[in-house]
């Protein structure tokens, strides 16, 4: 069974600084997807960024980027130029590649609470 581990229950960063959130996962699959979701105080789950395992290039979305190390099964999220609105709980998630069949289920980590200090 796949497992996702976020070893940092809480992290903090100063506004405009950079912070990195860690995530490791365990799988025997070779093809899969990895995601970072953000859950602000409103509790709405928002997709931040995704990575396909078969792509070596790290995904980037504006101030958000990942460091994907497939051999180490590591998937960290880097937030640059942190803003007060980045304060939230961040979840790492894994989804196997199901070959285009009709469903895919996410396995989530336990989350990291990010505080941004002005």
Partner 1 sequence: SQTIHQWPATLVQPVGSPLSLECTVEGTSNPNLYWYRQAAGRGLQLLFYSVGIGQISSEVPQNLSASRPQDRQFILSSKKLLLSDSGFYLCAWSRQGGEKLFFGSGTQLSVL
Which of 59, 75, 88, 111 contacts partner 1 by CB under 8 A? Answer: 111
CB of 63 to partner 1, least distance (A): 20
Q: Is residue 57 near partner 1 by the rule CB under 8 A?
A: no
Measured from the CB atom, the residue of 80 and 95 that comes closer to partner 1 is 95
Which of residues 36, 68, 75, 91 is near partner 1 by CB under 8 A?
91
Provide, rounded to whole angstroms, the least separation between the CB of residue 17 and partner 1.
25
Q: Which of 13, 66, 89, 114 binds partner 1 (CB under 8 A)?
A: 89
> Residues 77-81: contacts with CB within 8 Å, 24+ apart?
77/20, 77/21, 77/23, 77/36, 77/48, 77/49, 78/18, 78/19, 78/20, 78/21, 79/13, 79/18, 79/19, 79/20, 79/21, 79/114, 80/18, 81/16, 81/17, 81/18
Binding status of residue 95 toward partner 1 by CB under 8 A? yes
Rounded distance, CA 4 to CA 25, Å? Answer: 4
Exactly one of 47, 60, 81, 117 binds partner 1 (CB under 8 A); that residue is 47
């Amino acid at each position: 069974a796949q497992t996702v581990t976020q070893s940092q229950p809480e992290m903090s960063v100063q506004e405009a600084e950079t912070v990195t959130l860690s995530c490791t996962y365990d799988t025997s699959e070779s093809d899969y997807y990895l995601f970072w979701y953000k859950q602000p105080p409103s509790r709405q789950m928002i997709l931040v960024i995704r990575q396909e395992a078969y792509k070596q290039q790290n995904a980037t979305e504006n101030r958000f980027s990942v460091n994907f190390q497939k051999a180490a099964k590591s998937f960290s999220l880097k937030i640059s130029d942190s803003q007060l609105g980045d304060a939230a709980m961040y979840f790492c998630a894994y989804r196997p590649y199901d070959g285009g069949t009709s469903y895919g289920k996410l396995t989530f980590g336990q989350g990291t609470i990010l505080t941004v200090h002005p």
